[in-house]
Amino acid sequence: MATYIVLLGLPGAGKGTQAALLQEALGLPHVTSGGLFREIAEQDGPLADRVRAILASGDLVPDDITIQIVEARISRDDAANGVILDGFPRTVLQAQALDKLLAERGEAVDIVPFLNLSEQEALARLGGRWVCSKDPSHMYHTRFNPPKTPSVCDIDGAPLFQREDDTPEAHRHRLEVYRENTQPLIDYYRDKGILVEIDAERSIEAIKADLLAATRPYYERG
């Protein structure tokens, strides 16, 4: 039986930070829809141009494109034992598409940790984020998690950069988009009895400990 974990939470809640730690601890791949789109945005062609513009604005990529891209990713061999989903699903339609896809394989979403924090804290985190140019799972924050040498990744020495959608305008818009489209997923998964609320206004280590405790039973089930 495979394990499907869906991380839910505001932009800046720490989904990417925690997914990278969970990947290390559980050995399941971290699948980030935002990361998949950022890879596409670096390419050439009409799809790349469209995705680049959507990302910069903070709007959502249309559901049909998103579902197709995530479905292809979770169908790869390395996802045979399951995945840690970060940023997908983000609309009820995407959640229903995921349920359908997994049901066809005799599987289902097992657990949905909801990283709960205030919008104010989320904005503070987004405002200071720096990302490694070699491996985007290496993430820093000017105040909360600074690199040892400014602008340089501690792990591989590569330069750090700020994401194009880390602007005050895009932050505000992403929070609005979340409220309207993604917040309903909290009830969607709560009604299924698989939502686990985690206080995300704490240290990275404290949140990680709770996440491990909540997810391990599903993973160890095999």
Catalytic residue among 73, 90, 125, 208: 90
Quote the least distance from Cβ 107 to ligand AP5, whole Å.
19
163 is catalytic: yes
125's contact among Mg ion, ligand AP5, none, with CB below 5 to 8 A by partner kind, is ligand AP5
With CB under 5 A as the contact rule, the residue among 16, 29, 113, 147 that binds Mg ion is 16
Q: Please, are residues 38 and 136 in contact by the beta-carbon 8 Å criterion?
A: yes
The site partner of 3 among ligand AP5, Mg ion, none (C-beta below 5 to 8 Å per kind) is none
Tokens 């950069």 -> residue:
161
| Nearest distance in Å: CB 171, Mg ion | 13
Q: How far is CA 135 from CA 23, 76, 155, 188, 218, in A?
A: 14, 20, 9, 33, 28
The CB-of-220 to ligand AP5 minimum distance in angstroms stands at 25
Q: Give the end-to-end CA distance of the chain in Å, rounded to a whole number.
A: 6
Out of 38, 73, 125, 129, pick the active-site residue: 129
Distance, in Å, from the CA atom of 175 to the CA atom of 183, rounded to the nearest integer, reads 10
Instruction: Determine which one of 163, 190, 192, 216 is catalytic.
Output: 163
List the catalytic residue out of 15, 38, 73, 208.
Answer: 15
Question: Is 208 labeled as catalytic in the residue annotation?
Answer: no
141: which 2 tokens? 């924050």
Least distance in Å: CB of 51 to Mg ion? 16
Q: Considering 38, 73, 125, 174, which one is annotated as catalytic?
A: 174
Distance from chain centroid for Cα 140 = 16
Among residues 163, 166, 189, 213, which one has the least CA distance to residue 89?
189
In angstroms, rounded to a whole number, what is the distance separating the alpha carbons of residues 62 and 66?
Answer: 6
Q: Name residues contacting Mg ion, limited to 158-217 (CB under 5 A).
A: none
Query: Which partner from the list Mg ion, ligand AP5, none does 119 bind, CB cut-off 5 to 8 Å by kind?
Result: none
DSSP for 48-77, written as a single string: HHHHHHHHHHTPPPPHHHHHHHHHHHHTSG
CB of 186 to ligand AP5, least distance (A): 14
Q: Is residue 202 among the annotated active site residues? A: no
Residues in contact with ligand AP5 by the rule CB under 6 A:
9, 11-17, 33-34, 37, 54-55, 58-61, 66, 87-90, 94, 125-126, 128-129, 139-141, 144-145, 165, 174, 203-204, 207
Is position 90 annotated as part of the catalytic site? yes
Task: Give the residues lining the site for Mg ion (CB under 5 A).
Answer: 16
Catalytic residues: 15, 90, 129, 163, 174
